[in-house]
């Protein structure tokens, strides 16, 4: 871990701890994929990112995978309340499945229910601290709540995990300009 990566990880850990998230560290089958994200050429990250998303979508239960799929389909069709119902059933029956919490957070965000979305993102990040999708969602909500300095710190954590994430640098640049001169 580079000095920059460590500094940003510590800053985000402090922020997340302030909102009740601990950041456990464990090794799992995703470690090699996350390591490759650090070294891959900018234009070659997509297959690795896709594999991570595929791994995150595996709940270990066909029934839970079906709930995730149905919730995603409902969300895609703008049936947000139905999506929330599917994702709630998923989180009720698979509380250790980070992607269920992230999916429901997305649905809550679409319903403009920021409090529940933040709560679900906290759980998703407690279960999978490297979840760059959950971190990106957290940054969006923080920006919507007019907390650009905190959003910037979260995006820097995303950058430390997934430096080539699509549109990430543009978002960071935008927030850096917005927060220039502010204390972060």
Average pLDDT, the chain: 87
Q: How far, rounded to the nearest angstrom, does the alpha carbon of residue 132 sit from its chain's CA centroid?
A: 4
- Look at the chain and report how many structural domains it folds into: 1
- Give a yes or no: residue 173 inside a domain: yes
Cβ-contact 154, 15 below 8 angstroms: yes
Rounded to a whole number of angstroms, the distance between the first and last alpha carbons of the chain is 22
pLDDT in tens, 70-98: 999 999 999 999 999 999 999 999 999 99
Please write the tens of the pLDDT for every residue from 117-142: 999 999 999 999 999 999 999 999 99
Instruction: Tell me the whole-structure pTM to 2 decimals.
Output: 0.82
Q: Is residue 22 part of a domain?
A: no
Domain assignment present for residue 184? The answer is no
Q: Would you state the structure tokens that stand for residue 54, as one six-digit string? A: 């595929």
Given a contact cutoff of 8 angstroms between Cβ atoms, the answer to whether 37 and 48 are in contact is: yes
Is residue 21, in this structure, part of any structural domain at all?
no
CATH number of the domain that 72 lies in?
1.25.40.10
Q: Which range of residues forms the domain containing residue 139? A: 3-16+31-179
23: pLDDT strictly greater than 50:
no
């Amino acid at each position: 871990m580079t000095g920059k990566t460590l500094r940003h990880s510590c800053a985000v850990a402090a922020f997340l701890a302030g909102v009740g998230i601990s950041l456990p560290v464990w090794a799992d089958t995703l470690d090699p994929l996350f390591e490759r994200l650090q070294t891959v050429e900018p234009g070659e990250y997509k297959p690795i990112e896709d594999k991570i998303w595929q791994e995150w979508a595996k709940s270990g239960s066909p029934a839970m995978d079906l709930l995730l799929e149905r919730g995603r389909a409902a969300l895609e069709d703008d049936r947000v309340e139905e999506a929330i119902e599917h994702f709630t059933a998923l989180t009720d029956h698979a509380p250790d499945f980070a992607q269920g919490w992230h999916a429901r957070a997305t649905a809550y965000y679409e319903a403009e229910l920021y409090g529940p979305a933040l709560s679900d993102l906290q759980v998703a990040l407690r279960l999978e601290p490297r979840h760059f999708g959950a971190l990106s969602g957290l940054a969006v909500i923080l920006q919507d709540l007019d907390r650009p300095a905190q959003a910037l710190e979260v995006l820097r954590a995303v950058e430390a995990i997934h430096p080539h994430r699509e549109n990430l640098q543009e978002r960071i640049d935008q927030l850096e300009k917005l927060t220039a001169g502010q204390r972060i």
